[in-house]
Amino acid sequence: MSVSTAVSAPSVCAPLPVLGRDVTVPLVTGGEVSYAALDYAASAPALQRVWDDVAAYAPYYGSVHRGAGYLSQLSTDLFENARKTVAEFLDCRPDDQLVFTRSTTDSLNLLARALPADCQVFVFETEHHASLLPWQDARVTYLNAPRTPRQAVATLERALADRDPYGPALVCVTGASNVTGELWPVRELAAAAHAHGARIVLDAAQLAPHHPVSVRDLDVDWVAFSGHKLYAPFGSGVLAGRADWLQAAEPYLAGGGASRRVTRREDGGVAVEWHESAARHEAGSPNVIGAYSIASACKALTEAGFDTLVAREQHLIEKVRAGLAEVPEVRILSLFGDDAPRVGVISFVVDGWNSSHFAAALSAEYGIGVRDGLFCAHPLVRTLLGSDPQTQGECGAPEAAPGEKSLNAIRVSFGAGTPDEHVERFVNAVKELVRDGAKWNYRTEDGRCVPAV
């Protein structure tokens, strides 16, 4: 994948303003501190620009499509212009179709419902569950985790060479791992897929917030992503790409909006003519605010300039990785090695610590929000840990080796809205916890580690 990983000076730009940047949280040790949101890979904070745009539109909200009133017509124009804006952001082809969904998960389940009969699907075990699990009604081949980008391409080529050459096939691949942050060779995988008569869908949930995504340049057939990872709230997502499979499939949801005409049949039933446009898979009243917020985020990121955003994020990545490298007890998880290009997502384990305990202490004692667990990518994390944990251990059990009887790993993630101070506080907190231990007692409650009262 041709993406810039050049490092610029730390002062290359200020973080983009996001909601929550002034929120303070209490510490169990006393006092308050500004909250360091370092869980962008799960949900990024909304850009202030997005929130302001939505607030300006909110008084004019109306039901989209088919409404005669002024506000309905305004909302319809807003919704359809949002579709055009997002298509431009993704550099879609003229004949591509862009469907607004609820999330990446929803987008890929929609595509799974649209697969032609007897379609073969090829997916690496390294995928997020959103792109690993929707294909179970198809003929699925799960590919083992590669250890280099070149091995990923070779593994896919071998699997495709062995497939039935006459039936339809689909490859599903991530653009950037939600566990390691590593970039995948999407363009090369797309070339391999097309050389063997297969199509490819890109899970860009972790890629689109950090790097430009061009459907044409990467030569993918579809791309899916979520608004809530792209600094846009309100639970909306996107599936964009080839129209033919989508137009041939039964609607993802049956209902108003998806139907062009409904008539009674002589046998007492109803006959339905479905739309062939994106509306075919957007039944019901669409989430116009969600779609508009995604379009607003796309504009904001484009105007900020991805070259600038990538350079600043690379500075933060190097700061975190260098800090963690100074702690011998910390092991960073990686598929492709230290030199692999990556986005601001880093997972690690700490010798002698239960991951839930460590994450709880970061939150309760330092006001830092990270994530712990298997990150909805269970096969990948277990592969990286070299273990197959079946049960979670008690909070803070020092005898539990990483990946065994524990919640497995800790993930820190950041992006365009992250100030330097947050990653600096995180690195210092890791060093203090490993050196001095937690200052507070913790207990297990509903499978999670929480401060003892």
Active-site positions read 376
The single-letter code of the amino acid at 54 is V
Q: How far apart are CA 301 and CA 25, in angstroms?
A: 28
422 within 8 A of 38, measured Cβ to Cβ: yes
**Rounded to 5 degrees, what are φ and ψ at 378?**
-55, -50
Taking the alpha carbons at both ends of the chain, their separation in whole angstroms is 49
Helix or strand (DSSP H, E) at 356: helix 355-366
Is residue 346 exposed (0-12), middle (13-18) or buried (19+ Cβ within 10 Å)?
buried
Q: 296: helix, coil or strand?
A: helix
> Token pair of 283, please?
């039944």
Contacts of 55 (CB under 8 A, 6+ apart): none
Nearest to 17 by CA among 45, 47, 50, 52: 47
Cβ neighbour number for residue 253 with a 10 Å cutoff: 15
Q: Any idea what DSSP says for residue 174?
A: E
- Beta strand segments in 320-439, E: 330-332, 345-350, 368-369, 371-373, 409-413
Backbone angles phi, psi at 154, to 5 degrees: -65, -40
Which two tokens mark 100?
A: 């607004």
d(CA 372, CA 177): 16
Residue 408: count of CB within 10 angstroms of its CB: 27
How many angstroms separate the Cα of 318 from the Cα of each of 54, 155, 178, 339, 409? 35, 30, 18, 11, 20
Burial of 424 from C-beta contacts in 10 A (0-12 / 13-18 / 19+): middle
Contact of 15 with 419, CB cutoff 8 Å: yes
